[in-house]
Structure 1
Amino acid sequence: MPELAHALINKKEKQLKLINQVVDEVIVKIKSDTDKDNEIQLKKEIAEVEAFKLQNQQ
């Protein structure tokens, strides 16, 4: 009987490790996507400021 309990605990621990690994990968992906989105937004804002500067120079 204790062997069965240990086997179930080991199985649950392995499942939990796998779930945590997947969650970590998702977090990394979200951070990466957010960084890309922020970079795109920043480039748009820089382009707008540069266009505004050009308009004011003319």
Structure 2
Amino acid sequence: MPDPALRAQVTDQHLRDWYRERDLLPDGIETVIGAGSSLHATVDRIMRETGLDGVPAIDR
């Protein structure tokens, strides 16, 4: 849980000042998934790009 005193100091203006649209890490190590991507398509893409689509499911 965040410190309430610190949290009270962070204003909407602070957040607006810190925000940078498309502020990606260098060297292209991030992937931007567009807002138009469906949940199913997003999960499929993450599973495929991380190699998790080849890992057997765990039956719990």
Given the two structures, how large is their TM-score scaled by the length of structure 1? 0.24
Kindly indicate which of the two structures has a greater share of residues assigned to helix.
1
Q: Which has the higher contact order (CA 8 A, sep 6+)?
A: 2
Find the structure with the greater CA-based Rg: 1
